Amino acid sequence: MESPRLKAGSLLLLRIGTGLLLVIWGTLRVASPAAGPGLANKYYSGLLDVQSVQIAFGITEIVIGALVVLGLFRRIAYPLQAIILIPGALMLWRYLLDPMGWYLLDKQSSQILFFPSIAIAAATLVLLAFREEDRWSLDRRLSRARVPA
């Protein structure tokens, strides 16, 4: 038996969780500009390891994350979120396949905290798949306000 409130609440929680993740990471990049290049070099093969690029990327993450949390401009914000979070998870593939450092990584370089990236990537896909069913998004509220009764 499907519960519309459960579905709406679940989508709201996914929006808040994934959007705030982007806001937090973006804030880290902006507030600690030296941290971004270090993370890029350590975990993402040096991709975008220039400090000014990391700051700009951080600002972009904050904006996209805020839009996702609010459920505003979802047709644009959700795919942009997916472009950031899904490849980010895929680039950590060794940590996802061997979070305990048993066969791909050694115990010192293993990082179990990256394993939830799988759930974050899946949550991003769920938001995309069920975008039209998200009853508690700001987009939906605004579109209802524009329709004459």
Instruction: Please identify which residue in the block is written with the tokens 């990236």.
Output: 117
Give the residue from 82, 34, 83, 67 showing the smallest Cα distance to 137. Answer: 67
Count helices and strands in the chain by DSSP H and E runs: 7, 0
pLDDT in tens, 59-72: 999 999 999 999 99
> pLDDT of 104-114, one tens digit each?
888 888 888 88
Grade residue 15 by pLDDT with cuts at 50, 70 and 90.
Answer: very high
Q: Domain boundaries in the chain?
A: 4-134
Residue type, 39: L
What does the pLDDT read at residue 47?
A: 63
Which of 148, 96, 103 shows the shortest CA–CA distance to 119? 96
